[in-house]
Structure 1
Amino acid sequence: MSDDPEPKATALNPAYSITNINSKIRALDGSTLTYSQWTKLFTLHAIAYKVLNHIDGTEPTANTTDKYSPWKEIDALVLQWIYGTLSKEYLDRVLEIQTTARDIWLKLENIFLNNKSARAGTLNQQFSNLTLNACSSLADYCQKLKKIARQLGDIRQPVLEWRLVMQLVQGLPPEYAVAGALIHQLAPTWDNACTMLHHEEMRIQIRTKLEAPSPC
């Protein structure tokens, strides 16, 4: 009988347990899901599955060591995650085979943060000109305004909450004048301001219904 100890089994990286990345992270399209939202979700996912070192700038394993082959396999898996969570537009722009997850991570960063001045000008114009009357509903108005603010944040042009709330009021039609004045006075958070406007919307709808002429 041999006295040699049995070899220890190598623990399988938890990243291999992911069979459908799209059930964890939605596709980055720059609009429905902004770049900043995608990077936050992807980073949390990478932390949870112990592969953050493949995108955070950690020096890759040297290809002269025995650990390189397992590292390369995991890196290819993370690269598949990135590709699997991009819209077709962005996938077409970054798709490569002989590359690393970190290289594509940086390529996406460059796409979204490059030419910041031009993008900031366009987004700021959209932000300032958006009105409730140009949207399908109050909920749509709030959502679009918040989305533009996130896109500005993506290019390092963060919109402070008070500015977001004031722009929300700025784009309201005259029938919201009382609610708008109250928001100016109270300076509530974004969520509270939206709630106040939703309550005002319901009051307007009830008042309009009561004032409507009765059918003959």
Structure 2
Amino acid sequence: MAKDDTSGSSQKPVNTLHPAYSVTNVQTKIRTLDGTKVTYSSWIKLFKLHATAYKVSSHIDGTKAPESTANDYAEWKEIDALVLQWIWIYSTISDDILVRVLATNSTARDAWVKLEKIYLSNKKSRAAALETKFCNLTLAACSSLDDYCEKLKHLANQLEDVDHPVIDSHLVLQLIRGLPPEYDSTTSIINQTADVTWDLATSMLKEELIRQEARQNHSSTVLITSATPQPHSQTPAPNTSPTNNQTPNYYSQRGRGRGQGRTNRGGRGRGGCRDSSQQSTAYQNQ
């Protein structure tokens, strides 16, 4: 009886799940596009990076979709819906932008092209407006040094979106232009440093801010300490002035003499206490 040889027989390949199905919360990987804090260019870079990793780049780069009669069309359509809807594009753009992109029977590629038109159309006018904001921004108009640096960087990124990139040296120059006189010593060092980068310049300014805050805290502590009253080293002398209960009675002191105890006889003794009317009458008689 012949022995079955199955070692060389071909086996049916097992269908593996597409990587796109493993994405559960893409917002942790791609930040929400709002055009301000997260610019279009930053969003594009992150989106393309993850689209390549999850093998869905063909749904946004203009690759032709399979025919509706093809065997793989149903799977392509399902993955395209994942890329377009809650998993990718629609979940990573702000509500204001979503209203402009959302459409019936749209594909991921259609939404991708609409986003390009929103951010890349009218480049000259948008560049002029952004350049004005970039040149006029100062630290005084911001809530903190970190906020000032962040806004400058966002404006530079937005200018890059409209084909007006800001080189690093220009960005550093604008950074120190908008600073108050308190940073003059640090800005002088930055100007004298050759090929200073944005990261180095911002680090130097933040270190200067820490020193300024430390000096202010020290000055406040010294002022508070000097204004605090110090206890006296010597014990104050006791108050020897008589109180109301200790006021000496002139007449009672004199009444301790020979006339003491004669008040029942009309006060003829020398120490007898007379009322004010009797004293006044006796004086007038004299």
**Separation in 1 of the partners of 2:204 and 2:146?**
12
**Separation in 2 of the partners of 1:70 and 1:50?**
13
Q: Which residue of 1 aligns with 2:205?
A: 197
Name whichever of 190-199 and 20-29 sits farther off: 20-29
After superposition, the CA RMSD in angstroms is: 1.8
Q: Which residue of 2 aligns with 1:76?
A: 81
How high is the TM-score relative to the length of structure 1? 0.93
Deviations 1:113-168 (CA, angstroms, capped at 9, x unpaired): 11111111111111001111111111111111111111111111111000000000
**Residue of 184, 188, 195 corresponding to 2:196:** 188
Deviations 1:161-203 (CA, angstroms, capped at 9, x unpaired): 0000000010010111111111111141100000111111122
Q: Aligned pair count?
A: 215
Q: Which residue of 2 aligns with 1:45?
A: 50
1:214 and 2:229 correspond: no
Greater fraction of residues in helix:
1
Deviations 1:35-86 (CA, angstroms, capped at 9, x unpaired): 1111111111111111111111222222232121111111111111101111
Q: Which aligned runs of 4 or more in structure 1 are off by greater than 6 angstroms?
A: none
**Separation in 2 of the partners of 1:5 and 1:189?**
61
Any stretches of 5+ residues in structure 2 without a counterpart? 1-5, 228-286
Choose between structure 1 and 2 for higher RCO, CA contacts under 8 A separated by at least 6 residues.
1
**Residue of 148, 158, 165 corresponding to 1:141:** 148
Larger Rg: 2
Q: Which residue of 1 aligns with 2:60?
A: 55
**Residue of 11, 19, 26 corresponding to 1:14:** 19
Measure how far apart 1:31 and its partner are: 1.2
Deviations 1:4-54 (CA, angstroms, capped at 9, x unpaired): 965322221110111222232221111121111111111111111111111
Q: Secondary structure at the match of 2:14?
A: coil
**Separation in 1 of the partners of 2:11 and 2:204?**
68
How high is the TM-score relative to the length of structure 2? 0.71
| Residue correspondence of structure 1 range 41-190 to structure 2 within 5 A | 41-80=46-85, 81-186=88-193, 187-190=195-198
Measure how far apart 1:210 and its partner are: 4.2
Q: Secondary structure at the match of 2:223?
A: coil
Quickly say closer, same or farther: Cα 1:42–1:72, change in 2 above 3 A. Answer: same
Any stretches of 5+ residues in structure 1 without a counterpart? none
Identity of aligned residues (%): 52
